[in-house]
A and B are shown apart, each in its own frame.
Chain A
Amino acid sequence: MELAKIESLLEQYFEGNTTLEQEAQLQQYFATADLPDHLAPYKDLFAGFGYMRQQKSETEFVVPQVKRRNPIWGYAAAALIGVLLSVGVFMNNNADDAPTLTAEQQEALEAFEEAKKALQMLSGNLNDGIEGMAYLNEFDKAAEQIFK
């Protein structure tokens, strides 16, 4: 391409009036031709755009996966809860077996024991009394024989 045409294209380029095809022509010209000094800066200009065009992203885009939990963790969690519950119940039972009583409860228990002792004594004496009444039966028998 002759110089005059390039210079007029360049003029249009800086006015923003060139097409993509014309810009490609300019680019090609400045990439290959032996240039007069006054056009040297444009070689760098178009080369610079060329370098910018070669920059590439180096990070791979990985589509985020929707996390599906392994079902085994569900079972494991259920089993763990079961174990914890049964341990808890067991400990609770142990606690019932060996109650720690308050002073009031202790007092009540003592009173209960005293009452039990007293009632036992009473019932023992009562039984003695009933044994004593056996003689009355003998009296009844004798009376039956007489008043028959």
Chain B
Amino acid sequence: MKQQEFLNIVLPFRDKMYRLARRILVSSDEAEDAVQEVLLKLWKGKERMSNYNNPEAFAMTMTKNYCLDRLKSKQAGHLKIVHSNYQSPHARLQDQVEANDGVRMVFEIMETLPEQQKMIIQLRDVEQYEFDEIAEILGMKPTAIRVALSRARKTVREALIKKYNYGVS
């Protein structure tokens, strides 16, 4: 497979990989690193890539696995992740200057979700994948995904309304 061929396959979903990585790892630098690593792995295994009927789902699965591994080794190593979770959310939103406080709240609330719910909301509400595709990426049953998605959306709603009321009163 030629370099250009590979890039043509990979580039359409590279940003989706990045966003998933960023949702899991929080830090944009680490997300960039994760995407590079996963793309490198895909490039090395590119001969097998034509065997996968859905390279995008495969790449997303690899991204998910890579990021969860990173997260696990970080948590095992030290408590840095706990710190970076609360590391000035505003700095991270520098690229969304015009985003208002309510939107910032959504970002913050998203970070408090368990990894699995975080990923499901990311894949559904941000990337707008069908349930079948999410099932393929996460290796879960579509019904289980619906349940987790509903739970995640309700958690976000509750937290958002709470923050809203707090802001008003």
Contact = CB atoms under 8 A, between A and B. Distances in A.
B161 A63 contact: no
B7 interface: yes
Is the contact region of chain B dominated by helix, strand, or loop, or is it mixed?
helix
Nearest to A48: B106
A56 B28 CA distance: 10
Contacts of A98: none
Interface in A8-65: 13-17, 20, 23-24, 40-41, 43-45, 47-49, 51-59, 61, 63-64
Given A14-B157, A44-B160, A23 B15 contact: no
A24 B125 CA distance: 10
Nearest to B23: A52
Nearest to B15: A56
Contacts, number: 96
A40 B164 contact: yes
B57 interface: no
Interface stretch (B71-79, B80-88, B142-150): B142-150
Nearest to B162: A41
A64 B107 contact: no
Given A15-B150, A16-B146, A63-B6, A45 B126 contact: no
A57 B103 contact: no
Contact of A43 (B22, B102, B126): B102
B137 interface: no
Given A48-B103, A57-B18, A57-B32, 14 more contacts: A16-B146, A17-B146, A20-B128, A41-B160, A41-B164, A45-B157, A48-B110, A51-B99, A52-B122, A53-B126, A54-B96, A57-B14, A59-B35, A63-B7
